[in-house]
Each structure stands twice: as structure tokens, then as C-alpha cells.
Copies of this chain bind each other. A is one copy, B any other.
Amino acid sequence: ICIPSVDFFSSAASFMMSAENAALDFSHSGKVSRCYEEYSSSSSSTSRAAGMNGNGPSKLVDPLEDPVPGLGTYEDFNTIDWVREKSKDRDRHREITKKSRQSTVALLHSVSDAFSGWLLMLLVGLMSGALAGGIDIAAHWLTDMKDGVCLIGFWFNHEHCCWTSNETTFQERDRCPQWQSWGELITGTSEGAFAYVVNYLMYILWALLFSFLAVILVRAFAPYACGSGIPEIKTILSGFIIRGYLGKWTLIIKTITLVLAVSSGLSLGKEGPLVHVACCCANILCHLFTKYRKNEAKRREVLSAAAAVGVSVAFGAPIGGVLFSLEEVSYYFPLKTLWRSFFAALVAAFTLRSINPFGNSRLVLFYVEFHAPWHLVELAPFILLGIFGGLWGALFIRANIAWCKIRKSTRLGHYPVIEVLVVAALTALVAYPNSYTRMSGAELISELFNDCSLLDSSQLCGYKQVQPSPPSSSVGNSLADRPAGEGLYTALWQLALALVFKMMITVITFGMKVPSGLFIPSMAVGAIAGRLLGVGMEQLAYYNHDSFIFKGWCSPGADCITPGLYAMVGAAACLGGVTRMTVSLVVIMFELTGGLEYIVPLMAATMTSKWVADAFGREGIYEAHIRLNGYPFLEPKEEFDHSSLAVDVMRPRRSDPALAVLTQDGMTVGEVEALVESTHYSGFPVVVSPESQRLVGFVLRRDLLISIDNARKRQEGVVSASTVVFTEHALAQAADAPPPLRLRGIMDLSPFTVTDHTPMDITVDIFRKLGLRQCLVTHNGRLLGIITKKDILKHMAQIANRDPDSILFN
């Protein structure tokens, strides 16, 4: 969403997350690898080879005994090697299991290691739930602060302030003498134009103050705290490293600025950023457990669960959260993670419920209960809402991406603080006069989802009372369809204006340098549209109950159309159009209503919305922002649908110089260094000899440099003329020659290879499923070239007629 300009990186990265640089602890097994000539057939053999074999890449066989710092770790803005990480973890696990048979202490360690994942999940759930509760309470308080102040204590929000006064009746529970609006406080009266103007000005003032604080805090302390964070989390989960993105400063600043941004009245929600907050919690808590601190793959399992936790606390939907993580965010989601994320999501939901931020024992503001079933005829308007949602989603993504590009390419991008202040002022200025834009997004949605009962005093329920309902009338009657009255017509006009305003302001708001979620604004747009259509249908049914459409199921006095359900379907459709979520969205909505009954309308609308939006472009908003920022993300959902072969994608191309390779013996340290210096590749294949091009293994640039550097410093006799040996047994050499530098330990002995004829769809599948960083290409057993993840992304960009150089990182 918001890539901080480059000058930020140095300042931000330097003082954040030093803990993440913790060096890996390398265990040494000291076993030698076996080569072909001496392989044994004993399958139960436990002798181990170096290289990819677990500890391998992080181990120097000889003569160094100390681990080399930095070996086996990754640089910032690089992609991890999933296979290596997972293998490392399996090795660790095997080691612990083996030891556990020897002593009781080791056994206890093994048990605690096995349960540490669950403990971590518990902590993540508790911490995220508590933070979400805090954010809810603080945002509620600050939002009310814009309107007025509680005289008995400024720390009470409007509702709590009036709770303490028992004199108010049910209808007027939000009007009590203890709560005074700013106008009332300053002018002494709550009526009149002057008080209104004072209220208006104070509203704008507070909005400006909150948004200014938010953007300044983000800029000063944690540039990564802006945006929703979901595109970056998707990228991180796919194996990319962005140091500090999930660090403690980001967490602290994001939590504070999220409250400020939501309270400032900007058209943004807190739901997306809650996912980021939960992931920060998880990442920080990972440092408590060696198993997760030291392994990038294991940590990503925890982060996947944390994404589920985020949605669970945002919507009070644990199952929906897990499916969201599975469907939308995660890259590698084993079944174990499914179970654990479910556990964490539940813990978080119950923590939030016991904090009870809304004072109603509910997890969310917009819990709904509908009473009337829907009729098959209503599927038509529901599908209409789906089409609206799809169109809006496609339009929003295009407009927002275009606006973000303008921001990036023009001088606008240099003044983020001013941009935020202008948008905040504009929002406050336009929003205040209209009560539906003045209230917060969540409140608006809650009101729109609500089913009108007779007692309801809200404007949206301003129906005419056709027949004085006797007190003994049945409950069903009190919800019967009625003709719209004055109040409702006013509400409809306001809603229509609110719709246009929300649609426009959201486009320029999402992507600013403050924490901003997209769920609530998108749902608000859909809910307004849905409610408008719902009321329209209701009136149509009321005045035409004899027409062939309504005859038979919608007699006068019956409650046949529920405008609240339309609002909900519309919200789902719009959110679906923007994010392209499907199952998880339906399940989240199902958990809000609790009735299987309403799944079919939701499903019809979401499905339509996705199809319509996909017709205009297959990317959801998060994928679009990933592409905008040039992250190396290999979309797991989309099929690679082109008939190119591995040979078309690999480097070197025909016109390029030959592939830079190392030979397994015969090169000197000086030659190796010169080769590494002259190229920018992140790894080098090792071959038997330049003539045969038979592949032996693969060495990472970083490991190679660190090892040579370390050897030069700490190992005697290693000079530029020393030979570098990757074979197991060094060749005999002249007595006066310097001792050889043996680097078999850092070589990956099992590099992945494909043949040059392998179709790219299969290659892409391999990259995705195994989480590779690079893959070597052979022809008839001879090394031919190399394909990296970046090569694939560039190739895909080229096929889609996009600029292949938009892929920024490796």
C-alpha cells in the first residue's frame, strides 16, 4: 500500500528489530557425505551428508569448529528458500527426538518443544484479542471526543457517560446532562446555528488533529505502519523478507495511529490493519521460542495463524478468519496450521468478548438477527447487488491504482502530511452535515444492517403507521412492511449522497500514509446501495402486492422484504468485488447472522460479484498493490496459462555471456572472488569441469562470501592462491602450495533441476508448491542455465504486456 521512499529504509531499519538479526545456531554433526562410488544399500543408515541435508548449508565441515555468523541467514528484501528452512526444522526436530530418549531433561525439553507451538498460539490469541479490545475502546472514546465531552470525567465516552445517569429513559439514553457537545459547552445552549457552527468547527479541528498525529507518528517512528498491511503480509508469507515490517515499533505505532486514523473520521476501517497488528504480535512473540525465532518457514506458519486471528477479532468470526487466512493471505498452510490458527482465533475472540468493548457481549458492532425468510424472487435483486459490487470493485481498483500511480510519479508523493491533512479536512467538511457520513463506518453498517422494529426511532425506520397496532398484536406484525414516511425519504436522500461521497473519498484515502483498512469502507458502500435497493423493493412490494411478482408470498401486513438483509448482501458483494474473497467472506457473514438460511443470497451475490469483477481484471486490490510495489509474489491462485518452456525463461539468454559456474576443484580463492565480484548473481552452480558441465551442487553468493571472508580472517594459510575445493577428498597437490579451502559444507548438494523441455506451467507449479528460490536447467544431463523466482515473475509480466522491470526485489 505505502512503500516508504528509499531514504526511509536506512533510518527505519537501523533502529528497529535488531532482534531479528539474531544469528542462527549451527549444530555440527561432523559426518562426511557419501559419494556415488561408496554408497551403501542400508536404508536404515543414519549417516548424513552435508549440503542440503538439514544442518548442511549452515555447516563448515572443517577445519573451523565455530559456526560462521550469518551463514544460512537471509538479507533484507530477499526471498527465503522454503525447502532449506523446512529441512532445517526437521533436522532440529530429529535431533530433539533422538536426545529425548537419553535423559529425562531432554524428554521434558522435547515435550515443551512440541507444545511450544500451542503456547505461542495461546499468547498470540490473548495479545491480539487484548489489543483489539483496547483499540476498539480507544477509538470509540476518541470518536466521541470529536462531538463533545463528558463532564463527570473526560475519559468516558458518550455511552458510558450516560450510563452513569439513571434518569434517562430508554429512547433518550444517549442524551444526558453529563454529556455536553462542544457547542453546548462553549455557547451554553445545544440549539441554534452558533452551537452548530461551533460543533462543526470542533469536529473538523479534532479530525485534523487526529490525522496529523497519525501521519506524523507514522513518518517519524515506523514508516511501515501505514496502509492495511495485507499486501505486504501476503508477500512476507510467500517467503519474502522485509525486516522491521512486523517489528515492535511497527506494532506500537500502528496500534496508536490506527486509533487516531479511525477516530479522525477518514473513510477507512480498522479491520485490515488488525491483521497486521496480529501478525506483529505473532512475530514478536516468536522471539520467545527458539523453534520459531530461528526458522523463517516455521515463523510463517505462525504468521498465517495470526492473520486468521486478525480477522477473527475484527469480525468476531473465528471460522471465517481461518478461511480468510487460508483463502486470501497464506502461501504455505499445512493442516497443522489450520488447527492451530483455529485455536488462536478462538482464544482471541473470547479474549475480546471478555473485554467486551461494545458493552453488549457481542464481538462486533454489527451483529444482526433477521426474522423473516427470503423468497426465491428476491434472488434477482441480490444478483443485481452482486453486479453492482463487482462493477464497484473493478472500478475502485482501477481508480485507486491510478491515483496511487499519480501519487508516486508527481510531487504529491513528497507531501504525505499535507495530503493527509487535506483529505481529512475535506472528509470532515463534507461528512459532518450528513448524519450517515458523520457516524463511523462500523456504526453506519450496523444501522444499515438493522431490521426495523416498531419501537425503532431511527430515521431509517421512519415508516408511516398505517394501522395503530394493538398492544396484543403478534410480534410478526410489528415488522410488517409499511409505506415509507417523511423520515425515511430524508434518510434515503442522505444515504444516496453518502454513497456518492464514500465512493469518491475512499479511492483517494486508501493508500495514504496512515493505517487504513478497506473492509469497512467497501462494506459501507455496499450496505448503502443494498439498503436503498431493499427499501425500494419493500415499497414496490407494498404498493404492488397484487402484481404477479409478489402475489402469493407478499400479502399486505406481512413482513416479506427485509431491507437489512439487502444491506448485508450488498456489503458482501462490494467487499467481494474489491478483495475477490469468496468462501471466507460468506462464512464471515454467516457467523455475523448465525443462520444458514441467508447463505444462499450471500453466495449468489458474492459469486456474481467475483465473476463480474474478474471480467474487468483478475486481480484483487491486494494483488494490485503487490504489483504496484513490485514485490516478488508468485500468485498461488492463478494458473500459468502460457505454453513457454523452461528454456525460454532461463538465464543466460542466447545473446548473454555463458552462465557463471564454479568448478568443484581447480579454482583458486582469487578466481572465485573475481567471479563473484564480476557478477550480481545470488548463487553459483558448481560443476565437475567446465567441459562436461555436469552439475555437482549449488552455492549461495552470501554463504560463499561469508565463508571466504571468515577463512581469510581465521584460518591460517588461506590466500588468494589457495585452491577452493568442493569435492569430498582434496586432490593431491604440490607440497609448497597453500592449504586448500574446503567449502563442500556450504554447498547445496541437492539443487533442484528441471530439463530445458519442461513446460513453464509445470516449472511454475514446482516453484509455488515447493517454495523454491531458484532452479537449475539441464539438457541431457548437462547444466544449461538457471531460473529464479524473479525470472518467472518477469516472464509473467512480459506475457501480460507489462513492464518486466517492475519486479523490484529478489
Contact = CB atoms under 8 A, between A and B. Distances in A.
A759 interface: yes
Nearest to A42: B648
B39 A647 contact: yes
A246 interface: no
A115 to B, nearest CB: 10
Interface string A326-362: 1100000001101100110010011000000000000
A751 B607 CA distance: 39
Interface stretch (A45-53, A229-237, A560-568): A45-53
A688 B643 contact: no
15 contacts: A35-B779, A36-B647, A36-B779, A36-B784, A39-B654, A41-B654, A43-B795, A49-B759, A87-B762, A90-B641, A97-B641, A695-B780, A695-B781, A750-B759, A781-B781
Interface stretch (A172-180, A299-307, A596-604): A596-604
A692 interface: yes
Most chain B Cβ neighbours within 10 Å, of A319, A335, A336, A754:
A319
A198 interface: no
A318 interface: yes
A759 B53 contact: yes
A256 interface: no
B643 A600 contact: no
A106 interface: no
Interface string A733-755: 00000000000000001110111
Nearest to A645: B49
A509 interface: no
Given A755-B750, A798-B44, A83 B765 contact: yes
A753 B326 CA distance: 31
A52 B694 contact: no
Given A94-B643, A798-B43, A83 B335 contact: no
Given A644-B44, A644-B45, A654-B41, A751 B761 contact: no
Interface stretch (A127-135, A540-548, A580-588): A580-588
A765 B770 contact: yes
B41 A653 contact: yes
A654 B750 contact: no
Contact of A780 (B583, B688, B755, B761): B688
B90 A52 contact: no
A99 interface: no
Contacts of A93: 639, 641
Given A43-B644, A750-B755, 11 more contacts: A36-B779, A41-B653, A43-B798, A46-B644, A83-B762, A93-B641, A343-B603, A346-B603, A695-B781, A696-B781, A781-B782
A34 interface: yes
Contacts of A695: 780-781
Contacts of A339: 582-583
A750 B754 CA distance: 7
Interface string A651-695: 001110000000000000000000000000000000010001111
A39 B603 CA distance: 49
A325 B131 CA distance: 34
B781 A778 contact: yes
B654 A44 contact: no
B694 A781 contact: yes
A197 interface: no
Contacts of A504: none
Given A583-B339, A596-B349, A751 B756 contact: no
A711 to B, nearest CB: 23
A472 interface: no
A722 to B, nearest CB: 24
A54 interface: yes
A750 B758 contact: yes
A717 interface: no
A52 B758 contact: yes
B757 A749 contact: yes
Given A33-B757, A346-B600, A86 B765 contact: yes
A649 interface: yes
